[in-house]
Amino acid sequence: MTAPGVPARFRALRVDVEGERARRAVVELTAEELPRNDVTVRVAYSSLNYKDALSASGNRGVTRHYPHTPGIDAAGTVLRSDDDRFVAGDRVLCTGFDLGMDTPGGFGELIRVPGDWLVPLPDGMSERDAMVLGTAGLTAAIGLELLQRSGVSPALGPLVVTGASGGVGSLAVALLAHAGHRVVASTGTASSRPLLARLGASEFLDREALAEPSARPMLKSLYAGGIDTVGGTTLVSLIKSTAVGGAVGSCGMVGGAELQLSVFPFILRGVALLGIDSQHYAMPRRQAMWRRLAAEWRVDGLAEVPGLVREVGLEELEPAIEDILVGGTVGRVVVRVAE
């Protein structure tokens, strides 16, 4: 029996896997099919991330059990709660943990999650604002925080953002520039340069400049470090090019998971390699970071920057999923879930 205040049925993008083929369709589900967690939330907005596209393609490394509803991000309103920290009507957001992986995610009008996964929506931030940022924005913000904690200041030199035209990359450009850093945007998508300039990039670097392998243990120190969303040779080249006392935050591996480099940048220049993990980011720090993103780290007018945000409904997700899988997405795709 459906709990009071919770609709009996809701729409969701459902993925099923038959053999090696994934089938996706917007279907109607019952609330009783949701997991038995503490808090039921009506989702207003979600966002599309690369991990969502992998889940929607039947990738068992992301999602083990199908049929499944992807969506690692969600923002909406509590409908029912068995957790004393939340009551019906609270506005909340959820990113990371197991949402959208093996727990039905934000590409459905309802989610039911543990209260431990929920962050109260900060004052002055709408559900759509939160999903313009989403996991990508949280990841970029954690990267900025780690760089600051490592002592990287604007005076040390420019910071490179690799994969700058993607979701994490574009938001990292905006946040680093907002914090006063000179930002070098590394991208292979020439058409994204006007957008990245509007977000605050002052210089551009073709992605091939960092993707070319070098046998030298260190390269000329050109940068204070940066945020790398690519991995592989690109990350290696950035580390080798980082100045004394600099740091590089790492959060991606589309360019490879292996690092072929010596210890010289670390022991001769004191370069720090910082892992950025937003999925398991501790809740007190997570809540503080979202409040920060709504206040002193808020980039005014971010959602209105031309070319940054594309909004789609559940029925329009199919081409967006295919685009992100082949690297054709620039900026952020926000998913309008509620009708």
Three-state DSSP state, 309: strand
pLDDT at 272: 98
Q: Which of 219, 231, 177, 226 is nearest to 205 (CA)?
A: 226
CA 38 to chain centre: 25
pLDDT at 274: 98
For residues 100 and 225, what is the distance between their CA atoms, to the nearest angstrom?
A: 32
For residues 229 and 226, what is the distance between their CA atoms, to the nearest angstrom?
A: 10
Q: May I ask the CATH architecture of the domain 9-121+308-336?
A: Alpha-Beta Complex (3.90)
pLDDT at 2: 62
Least confident stretch, 12-21, 30-39, 113-122, 153-162: 12-21
pLDDT at 327: 87
Ordered by start, the domain boundaries in the chain are 9-121+308-336, 135-275
What's the 3-state SS for 138-173?
HHHHHHHHHHHHCCCCHHHCCEEEECCCCHHHHHHH
Is there a contact between 278 and 255 (Cβ–Cβ < 8 Å)?
A: no
H or E segment to which residue 100 belongs: none
pTM of the predicted structure, to 2 decimals: 0.96
Pick the CATH number of 135-275 from 1.25.40.10, 3.40.50.720, 3.30.930.10, 1.10.260.40: 3.40.50.720
